[in-house]
C-alpha cells in the first residue's frame, strides 16, 4: 500500500488520465482522481502543487505515450511502411478511448487557458506536439506533406471516434481505399 512519493505521483498521473479524459478539466474532481488512486484527496496536494499541475502532467504523458506506441509499431521501418504501421497502431490506440479523449481535452484546455491569459500549458503542449510531428516525420522519411496528411487523417479519426461513430458506419468509407493514394491510413 505505502509507496514512495515518486511512485504515487506516477499512479496519480495514470488515474488522472482516465478521469480527465472522461470529464475534462472542470468536470473532474480531485476527489475522483484520489479515489481511483486509492488515496485521500488532500494528499494529492502534497504530490502536486495543484489541480492544474496534475492535468498538465497527464497531458504531457499522453502525448509521450502516443509516440511510444508509434515508435514500437514502426521500429525498423521507414517510408510508407512506417506510416502504415503507425496508422494501424493509432487505430488500436484510440480503441480504448482514454488516450484519445485526454488528447482532445488537452486541445480544448489549451485554448481555454490561453483565453484566460496564462499560456504555460499551451506552450508545453505545442512543444510536445511539434516534437511528435518531427519524430513521425523523421520515421516516415522526411516528407512534410506526407506527415501532414498522416496527422490530418489522425485528427479525423479522433473526431469520428469521439462522436461515437461505430466503425461499420458509412462515414468511415473514405478510409477504405486509401492505401492507393499513399497516405498510409488503415
Query: Binding residues for its own copies, per CB under 8 A?
Result: 22-27, 97, 101, 104-105, 107-108, 110-112, 114-115, 119, 122, 125-126, 129-130, 133, 144-145, 147-149, 151-156, 158-159, 162-165, 171, 173-175, 177-178, 181
Residue 28 is a binding residue for DNA (CB under 7 A)? yes
**Residue 91 corresponds to which cell in the numbers above?**
487505430
Our CB check for DNA shows the closer of 38 and 142 to be 38
Residue 8's φ and ψ, nearest 5 degrees, are -60, -45
Our CB check for its own copies shows the closer of 43 and 133 to be 133
**Whole-number Å distance between alpha carbons of 18 and 13:** 9
Residue 52 is a binding residue for DNA (CB under 7 A)? yes
Residue 144 is a binding residue for DNA (CB under 7 A)? no
Angle at 123 between CA 60 and CA 92, to 5 degrees: 35
Our CB check for its own copies shows the closer of 40 and 159 to be 159
**Whole-number Å distance between alpha carbons of 134 and 118:** 26
Please identify which residue in 10, 14, 22, 41 interacts with DNA, judged by CB under 7 A: 41
Using alpha carbons, list the distances in angstroms from residue 148 to 28, 50, 152, 175, 181: 33, 36, 6, 16, 14
Amino acid at each position: 500500500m505505502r509507496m514512495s512519493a515518486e511512485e504515487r505521483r506516477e499512479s496519480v498521473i495514470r488515474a488522472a488520465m482516465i478521469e480527465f479524459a472522461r470529464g475534462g478539466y472542470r468536470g473532474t474532481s480531485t476527489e475522483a482522481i484520489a479515489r481511483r488512486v486509492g488515496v485521500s484527496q488532500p494528499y494529492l496536494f502534497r504530490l502536486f502543487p495543484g489541480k492544474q499541475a496534475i492535468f498538465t502532467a497527464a497531458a504531457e504523458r499522453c502525448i509521450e505515450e502516443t509516440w511510444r506506441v508509434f515508435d514500437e509499431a514502426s521500429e525498423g521501418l521507414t517510408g510508407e511502411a512506417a506510416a502504415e504501421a503507425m496508422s494501424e497502431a493509432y487505430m488500436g490506440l484510440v480503441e480504448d478511448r482514454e488516450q484519445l479523449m485526454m488528447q482532445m481535452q488537452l486541445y480544448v484546455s489549451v485554448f481555454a487557458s490561453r483565453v484566460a491569459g496564462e499560456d504555460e500549458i499551451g506552450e508545453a503542449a505545442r512543444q510536445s506536439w511539434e516534437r511528435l510531428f518531427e519524430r513521425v516525420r523523421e520515421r516516415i522519411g522526411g516528407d512534410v506533406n506526407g506527415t501532414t496528411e498522416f496527422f490530418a487523417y489522425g485528427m479525423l479519426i479522433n473526431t469520428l471516434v469521439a462522436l461515437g461513430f461505430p466503425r461499420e458506419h458509412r462515414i468511415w468509407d473514405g478510409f477504405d481505399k486509401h492505401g492507393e493514394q499513399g497516405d498510409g491510413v488503415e
